[in-house]
Structure formats: structure tokens, C-alpha cells
Structure 1
């Protein structure tokens, strides 16, 4: 019981004290983790777990989409289009139970994560 409470406290403190850029990176890191877990579950034919992870990934992408101010940044409209495409790929992967589509979504999620990490590091300098 204690380790769970300690972990929850640590995570709560990490999120509560993180900069907006770090929060964004944490969110896309979790997106990658969810898609990886969903892919693993699909390959193991654990459809319930795959559905759980892929729908959580979809929720993260929806959060990214709704928090994006497309007019506030160069390329905002293009990024919104990428988020939309990724979300639709995740839905397709889940509904069709298609690990190949999930793999495509994972590639996109990893690129997004790398890009946001680089942007956060550049902003911190």
C-alpha cells in the first residue's frame, strides 16, 4: 500500500511543479507508452487491454487537439491536422484490431514526442 501512495505523491508533485513545456512532454511520453502497451496487447490478442490503452491514447490526443491554439504558433494548423490523423489512426487500430495500424500510430507518436522534447529543451535554454 505504501509504495502506491508514495508513487502517487511523487507523480502529483512532479505534475504540480512542472512547467507547461514539461507537462506537454510528459503527456506525449504517456501517449507513446499507451500506444506501445496497446500494440503489445494486440499482438498478444488481449483485446480488452488493447482497447483500454488505445482509448487512453485517443483521450490524450483529444487533449492535445483541444489545448492547441492553432493561430498562436507557426504550423499550428498543420499540427492540428497531424493530431487529427493520429487520433483517427488510433480509432481504426482499435476498432479493426489491427496491429499494423497501431504500429503506424506509434511511429507518429514517437516522432511527436521527440519533437516536443527538443522544443522544450530549446525553450529552456
Structure 2
């Protein structure tokens, strides 16, 4: 088995065995990765790569939107932020703007970091029985 095949098998296994919380974390990290790719594409004036990376970021934001439970008040606020991020990504694509990408990236990082903290708190509760 080649190194690339082994890595692909590892990636596939990590996705199929991840909890829903871990999958959400992976989505945030993927979105950040694609925003970085879009910024690199803008730097070298590669319009096709920029467009592809931004579209992938938008697909991830759309997936995150679809997972929200709209019966929970915080989900309604998160939906507004996700819609804003999607709009800003569209604008960044049309305007070839790293400034707009930086703004969305900062928001996604905040969401990701908060999500990581929630996962850590829940794990601590699970393994120690604490009611943190």
C-alpha cells in the first residue's frame, strides 16, 4: 500500500468513526483550509482556483446551516451569522477580496474554537463525571 493510499484510508476512517461533534469540527477546519486556498489563489491571480475554494467553503457553511436545530434560539442567531458568512464569501469571490475572506475566516475560527471548547467540556464531563 502506498503512503498516499494509507493516508487516504486513514482520512476515510477518521470521518466514518467520528462523532457528530467531531464531524462539525472537521467542517470548520475544512472551511478554514479552503479559505486559505482561496487567499493563495488570489495572491497568484488564479481565478479558477479561487472560485473553487470559495465554493467549497460555501458548501461547508451550507452544510453547517442544514445541521442547525431551529427549535433552539441560539440556532436562529447562528443561522444569521452563517448566512452573513455565505454572503461575504460570494462578495469575496466577485470582488477578488482577501479582506472579505479574512473577515469570514475570523468568524469561522471563532466558531471552531468555541466548538472545540464545548467538545473538551463534554469529554471532561463524560470521563470524570463532573457537572462542569
In which range does the TM-score fall when normalised by the shorter chain? Answer: over 0.9
The ranges of structure 1 where at least 4 consecutive aligned residues each deviate by more than 2 angstroms after the TM superposition are none
**TM-score (normalised: structure 2):** 0.87
Residue ranges of structure 2 left out of the alignment (5+ in a row): 125-132
How many equivalent residue pairs? 124
Q: What's 1:43 paired with?
A: 43
Q: What's 2:108 paired with?
A: 109
**TM-score (normalised: structure 1):** 0.92
Q: What's 2:93 paired with?
A: 94
2:122, 2:74 → 1: CA distance?
17
Relative contact order higher in (CA < 8 Å, ≥ 6 apart): 1
Q: Could you tell me how far 1:49 is from its partner in structure 2?
A: 1.0
1:84, 1:123 → 2: CA distance?
28
Conserved 8 A contact 1:38-1:50:
yes
Q: What SS is found at the alignment partner of 1:11?
A: helix
C-alpha RMSD of matched pairs (Å): 1.4
Residue ranges of structure 1 left out of the alignment (5+ in a row): none
Which deviates the most, 100-109 or 57-66?
100-109
